[in-house]
């Protein structure tokens, strides 16, 4: 029963969130700040993870095809497919759920318990719209860029490590990353990412917005936000993959 209560309350919150902003100028200013907070400040961690993952996938794949039966370019192909299909669009958002989600939940949760949200409501400001909408729009805009960057870096890292560790010549790798390339798979990845961006921000904001109590509960909300975001990402990933790729 609890679950239906949460789903209902979540959609009610989203309905108020997606009302027309009071002041567009203010909305855009907040959105730019959020793009910086959510996107730009995550570039470092996303880049780091993508480089290392690309390199590791390259080495692991290369280690498994020493038999000679399988063509060498498979390494490039595998790195590309893994980065595009799963690592960039799913694993990066999972990491972002930990970073951005907990941040959003504790920020909004703190505003709730210190009555700052009540203060907004009293003034006649749509507090949900004011606090949450800029974050959702910012994430939905910036996530695809992060994810494309991640794909690119992962594949590049694979090429570099392949060359440096002498496991696959660059020429073979190049053949691999061009082999049977399907642009729809990139589109699929971007669609997934956009949905995950929405999930992370809205679910985290929901947990923050409905925090009750004190500092302890803010911590709790922020944990809940991350856990539920990740679970929902996983379930949605399965559904979207079934829907789009098969």
Partner 1 sequence: MIQVIDVNKTFGEQHVLKDVTATFETGKVNFIIGRSGSGKSVTTKCIVGLLEVGSGQILYDGRDFTSMNNKERKEIRKEIGMLFQGSALFDSMTVEENVGFPLRMFGGMSEEEMQERINFCLKRVQLEGSNKKFPAEISGGMQKRVGIARAIAMNPKYLFCDEPNSGLDPQTAIVIDNLIQEITYEFKMTTVVVSHDMNSVIEVGDNINFVNKGMIWWTGGKDDILHSSNQELNDFVYASDFMKIVRKNLS
Residues that bind partner 1 (CB under 8 A): 22-23, 26, 111, 114-116, 118-119, 121-125
By C-alpha distance, which of 156, 8, 149 is closest to 92?
149
Which residue lies nearer to partner 1 by CB, 129 or 154?
129
Which residue lies nearer to partner 1 by CB, 34 or 229?
34
Which residue lies nearer to partner 1 by CB, 44 or 124?
124
Q: For residues 163 and 160, what is the distance between their CA atoms, to the nearest angstrom?
A: 5
Q: How far is the CB of 122 from partner 1 (least distance, A)?
A: 5
Q: How far is the CB of 30 from partner 1 (least distance, A)?
A: 10
- Residue 83: phi and psi, rounded to 5, are -60, -50
Q: How far is the CB of 212 from partner 1 (least distance, A)?
A: 12
Q: How far is the CB of 242 from partner 1 (least distance, A)?
A: 40
Q: How far apart are the first and last CA of the chain?
A: 33
Which residue lies nearer to partner 1 by CB, 22 or 174?
22
By C-alpha distance, which of 206, 243, 216 is closest to 6?
206
Determine the longest span between alpha carbons in the chain, in angstroms. Answer: 72
Angle (CA) 102-107-118 rounded to 5° is 140
């Amino acid at each position: 029963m609890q679950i239906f209560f949460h789903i209902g309350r979540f959609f009610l919150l989203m309905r108020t969130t997606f009302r027309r902003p009071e002041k567009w100028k203010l909305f855009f200013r907040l959105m730019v700040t959020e793009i910086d907070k959510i996107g730009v400040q995550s570039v470092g961690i996303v880049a780091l993870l993508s480089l290392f993952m690309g390199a590791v996938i390259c080495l692991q794949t290369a280690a498994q095809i020493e038999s000679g039966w399988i063509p060498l370019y498979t390494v490039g192909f595998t790195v590309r497919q893994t980065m595009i299909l799963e690592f960039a669009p799913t694993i990066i958002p999972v990491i972002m759920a930990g970073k951005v989600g907990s941040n959003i939940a504790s920020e909004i949760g703190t505003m709730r318990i210190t009555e700052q949200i009540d203060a907004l409501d009293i003034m006649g400001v749509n507090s949900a719209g004011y606090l949450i909408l800029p974050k959702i729009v910012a994430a939905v805009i910036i996530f695809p860029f992060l994810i494309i960057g991640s794909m690119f870096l992962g594949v590049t890292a694979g090429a570099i490590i392949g060359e440096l560790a002498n496991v696959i010549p660059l020429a073979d790798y190049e053949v691999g990353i061009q082999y049977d390339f399907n642009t729809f798979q990139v589109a699929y990845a971007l669609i997934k990412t956009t949905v995950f961006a929405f999930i992370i921000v809205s679910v985290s904001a929901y947990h923050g917005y409905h925090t009750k109590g004190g500092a302890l509960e803010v911590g709790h909300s922020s944990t809940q936000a991350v856990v539920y975001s990740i679970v929902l990402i996983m379930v949605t990933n399965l559904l979207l993959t079934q829907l789009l790729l098969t």
